[in-house]
Amino acid sequence: MMPRLSRIAIYPVKSLNPIYVDEVKVLESGALENDRCFALWDEQNKFVNGKREPKVHHLRLTQFGKEGLTLDSHLGELVVDWVEDPEISDVVTESYLKEFFGYRVTLYPNPAVAEPPGNPGFPDDLELGGPTLVSSASLKTVSDWFGGLPYEETWLRFRANLEIDDVPAFWEDQLYTADREQGIPFTIGRIPFLGMNPCARCVVPTRHPETGETIAGFAKTFRTERERTLPEWAERERFDHYFRLALNTILNTDELMAPTTIYPQLILKVGDEIAITPHGDR
């Protein structure tokens, strides 16, 4: 069986929970449309995210669309309407977030959100701004390392964009080379990507995605098991540490059928097949 795309997740507000879609446009930057297109900022112009602020685990995104979004917490729902009352929505949003976090926080879009060509959102890796990819089998294996964590909980801990089925655990580790400047070409459906890097993890996966509760020794156990089970096709040179899971990608613009000004609809769909291109084999 061919590897296939089984799930697409986008995170409209950086650090908050995902929404799931059946298809998504890939932008010229390689980012998925609406992925991390908004972020929470403090008064020092720093991200308010899971790395720095555990409270974000208790703030939920329940709806997102062109006209607005809805957040939910112990304070109740916040409905943000960008069409009817944008100025009022900004004031109410800031008041809600200040009460929730205990200090001033602003929900702010990437300035390029209104300009789809090239808008990268707020990715964690500014150089490798394509979608992150992980296999179902990899997540199941990681779940087993921790006494059988619920699968969906494991998925949410690692916050990938794309999930693939019908492959063995850590299949995605064959999609990068020992040379960090040289990617492995592969396609999802008709869209060409380059696999570039095993994704380094931060403190976020150590916490429960909804409660923020930490599993003691999570990172240490993960590193030990990841090293022990690293497949033979993985390039160990790329593991300066073993707290790495999922694949960082970029759009392979050299292989596009035509410039995106002519061929603008780069659409990923659930069910698309994944193939390593022949010259990507090692």
Q: Does 254 reside within a domain?
A: yes
End position of a domain, from candidates 109, 137, 157:
109
Tokens of residue 203, six digits:
């403190």
Query: What tens digit of pLDDT does each residue of 156-205 get?
Result: 999 999 999 999 999 999 999 999 889 999 999 999 999 999 999 999 99
Query: What tens digit of pLDDT does each residue of 248-258 get?
Result: 999 998 887 54
Does residue 136 carry a pLDDT above 50?
A: yes
Q: Does 115 reside within a domain?
A: no
pLDDT-based confidence at residue 259 (cuts at 50, 70, 90): low
192 lies in the same domain as 79: no
**Counting beta carbons within 10 angstroms of the beta carbon of residue 241, is it exposed (0 to 12), middle (13 to 18) or buried (19 or more)?**
exposed
pLDDT computed for residue 256 by the predictor: 75
Does residue 113 carry a pLDDT above 60?
A: no
66 lies in the same domain as 154: no
Q: Does 18 reside within a domain?
A: no
157 lies in the same domain as 246: yes
List Cα–Cα distances, 245 to 123, 210, 262, in angstroms: 16, 20, 35
Instruction: Count how many domains the chain has.
Output: 2
177 lies in the same domain as 56: no
79 lies in the same domain as 181: no
Residues in a beta bridge with 61: 71
pLDDT computed for residue 281 by the predictor: 44
Region 6-19 average pLDDT: 96
50 lies in the same domain as 155: no
156 lies in the same domain as 242: yes
pLDDT computed for residue 122 by the predictor: 62
Does residue 27 carry a pLDDT above 70?
A: yes
196 lies in the same domain as 257: yes
pLDDT-based confidence at residue 114 (cuts at 50, 70, 90): very low
* Spatial separation of the C-alpha atoms in residues 44 and 131, rounded to whole Å: 28
65 lies in the same domain as 128: no
135 lies in the same domain as 272: yes
pLDDT-based confidence at residue 261 (cuts at 50, 70, 90): very low
* Spatial separation of the C-alpha atoms in residues 244 and 239, rounded to whole Å: 8
Q: What is the model's pTM?
A: 0.90
Domain limits at 89?
38-109
Does residue 231 carry a pLDDT above 70?
A: yes
pLDDT computed for residue 120 by the predictor: 54
153 lies in the same domain as 254: yes
150 lies in the same domain as 245: yes
Region 54-69 average pLDDT: 92
- Among 12-16, 126-130, 185-189, which is the least confidently predicted range? 126-130
